[in-house]
Amino acid sequence: MKKNFKRFWKLGREEFNTQYFDITKNGELMLKEGNYQYNIAKLVKQYGTALEVMFPFIVETRLHQLMDIFSAYIKLNDYKGKFYYHYPMKVNQHKQYVLSVVSEGANLETSSPNELWIVKRLWEQERFSSKIRVLCNGPKTERYIKLINELNQNGLTITPIIEHRDELVVFKKYKSEIGVRVNLNVKVKSHWDKRFNYFGLTEDEILKLGKIPNLGVISYHVSSQIQKLDGLTEPVKRLFSIYAKLRQRNPKLDTIDIGGGGAIPYVKKPMYTVKAAAQRIVKTCKQMSLKYNVKEPNIICEWGRYVVAPAQITVFKVITEKSVENGSNRKWYIVDGSFINDLPDTWTIHQQWHVIPVNNMNTRNNQRTWLAGSSCDSDDKYTAQGTYILLPKLQDETDQFLTFLDTGAYQDSLGARHCLLATPLKIIAHNGEVKVAAKRQSAEDIGKSFGW
Ligand SMILES: Cc1ncc(COP(=O)(O)O)c(C=O)c1O
């Protein structure tokens, strides 16, 4: 019986990243970290809702696997370049996540001076080995340039990635390696497949640059949540034609950076595996090196969402229900959080999520629902694109809790404060212990940032 409910809620399945989840005898959601376990319903009773729970061990496991798999295919293909992972800090800058990826051997990628400032802090606290390399993307403001130079002079390997022609002039005399970002003329299937992309230099611009002192890396980032394997390999093929031409004048160029893009099966439909992706990417690099008769470059990968999204869940309480007008027996479940504020991709890019109950998981008495947030905004809702979210029917005597899975990427830093609602309380569950990472904000806390 228990097994059926686990299957019903799509838990315990590696291909959906739910292998750590289980259901207790009482129908409550639990998560296992080795032989430690966390009962989410109990955590909710202790800490209240809205609640975010971070699981750093998931970050560590996923990163470890990713690096191992790429390295294995490099060996298997007798590929001469090395594999390097750089964690794109924009995906989740929370200290615990950054420390977790660094502990597994990740390098870093920043997109702003404030992210680089975090690197500076960690470096000053002597928390980094001097082997770590930091790639700096994003527009190079004065403050950014100053920090890049300062950290580089202090012995940290900082590679500014040139995104505009002006930046080439700024870093002309830079003593260490630099990189250049190309706006590849290739489109892939994903939400961000924009016709007009303003990041990096165009292919033409790059080829006209001639010799660039200390050029070591050529990078691109075509998109996020890339849907198909071809979307990962077509840009690699395109990049090689440029890499080969650039190398003729820049023999120090020995590294390609394939950016982010590894996808998450948010809606629990089959998706390519990291094994299939790594195999295809390494094989493509091997074939292209042969085709263009060039040195097999090192490969940098910046998959962010892939590593951190499954490491966080966001839990809400259902405050009340209402009928959906003309909604063929769907009910609105109104929750004590806000999609606009706490899971903004729901609103901005119509992200779909895997939503499951936290308690009453072994009931067959379920309800088709649409979810509404607590702000005043009619866009503050999640309807699974007009379909429905199946959740237990509400009972008078027990509160119903639900959780969104895979909320570890982008949501925290994009979050807003519509209607001055507080951000969820955030806890970290690690090595069997639970710690508060961010307290629940009071009216005073929020008011302060609005001048009150
Ligand atoms: C330069 C760069 N690298 C990596 C990433 C991470 O992408 P993803 O989370 O899709 O892997 C991004 C995301 O915007 C990016 O801009």
pLDDT tens sequence across 90-112: 999 999 999 999 999 999 999 99
The share of the chain scoring above pLDDT 70, in percent, equals 98
pLDDT of residue 296: 98
d(CA 72, CA 66): 10
162-166, 239-243, 310-314 — which is least confidently predicted?
162-166
pLDDT of residue 270: 87
Ligand 1 atom at minimum distance from 226 CA: 10
pLDDT of residue 194: 64
Domains of the chain: 2-56+310-448 (2.40.37.10), 79-303 (3.20.20.10)
Host H or E run for residue 145: helix 142-153
pLDDT of residue 131: 86
93-102, 204-213, 312-321, 345-354 — which is least confidently predicted?
204-213
Q: Which amino acid is at 384?
A: A
> 202: which residues sit within 8 A by CB, 6+ positions away?
182, 183, 185
d(CA 70, CA 308): 18
Average confidence score pLDDT of the chain: 94
Ligand 1 atom at minimum distance from 109 CA: 3
Q: 227 CA distance to ligand 1 centroid (A)?
A: 15
Q: 116 CA distance to ligand 1 centroid (A)?
A: 16
Residue nearest to atom 6 of ligand 1 (CA): 260
Ligand 1 atom at minimum distance from 219 CA: 1
d(CA 258, CA 235): 8
56-65, 182-191, 360-369, 384-393 — which is least confidently predicted?
182-191
pLDDT of residue 109: 98
Ligand 1 atom at minimum distance from 263 CA: 10
Q: Which amino acid is at 275?
A: K
Q: 136 CA distance to ligand 1 centroid (A)?
A: 12
Mean per-residue pLDDT, 262-281? 95
Q: 40 CA distance to ligand 1 centroid (A)?
A: 30
pLDDT in tens, 113-161: 999 999 999 998 887 888 899 999 999 999 999 999 999 999 999 999 9
Q: 105 CA distance to ligand 1 centroid (A)?
A: 19
The full DSSP string for 359-413 is: S-TT-S-EEEEEEE-SSS-TT-EE-TTTS-EEEEPP-SSS--EEEES---SSHHH
Q: 121 CA distance to ligand 1 centroid (A)?
A: 23
- For the stretch 34-39, contacts whose Cβ atoms lie closer than 8 Å and that sit 24 or more positions apart, written own/partner, are 36/431, 36/432, 38/429, 38/434
How many other CB atoms are found less than 10 A from the CB of residue 222? 26
d(CA 79, CA 295): 10
Contact 185, 203 (CB under 8 A): yes
Mutate to test the pocket of ligand 1, among 63, 84, 90 (most ligand atoms within 8 A of CB): 90
Mutate to test the pocket of ligand 1, among 59, 137, 221, 348 (most ligand atoms within 8 A of CB): 221
d(CA 87, CA 273): 19
Mean per-residue pLDDT, 305-323? 98
Q: 442 CA distance to ligand 1 centroid (A)?
A: 33
Residue nearest to atom 12 of ligand 1 (CA): 260
- Please say if the pLDDT value at position 72 is more than 80: yes
Q: 107 CA distance to ligand 1 centroid (A)?
A: 14
Mean per-residue pLDDT, 332-346? 97
Pocket (CB within 6 angstroms of ligand 1): 88, 90-91, 109, 137, 221, 224-225, 259-262, 302-306, 409
Q: Which amino acid is at 158?
A: I
Contact 58, 310 (CB under 8 A): yes
> 363: which residues sit within 8 A by CB, 6+ positions away?
27, 392, 393
Residue nearest to atom 5 of ligand 1 (CA): 260
The residues pairing with 110 across neighbouring beta strands, listed in sequence order, are 136
pLDDT in tens, 159-212: 999 999 899 999 988 989 999 999 998 888 777 666 667 788 999 999 998 899
Alpha helices in 171-295 (DSSP H): 203-207, 229-249, 274-292
Ligand 1 atom at minimum distance from 303 CA: 11
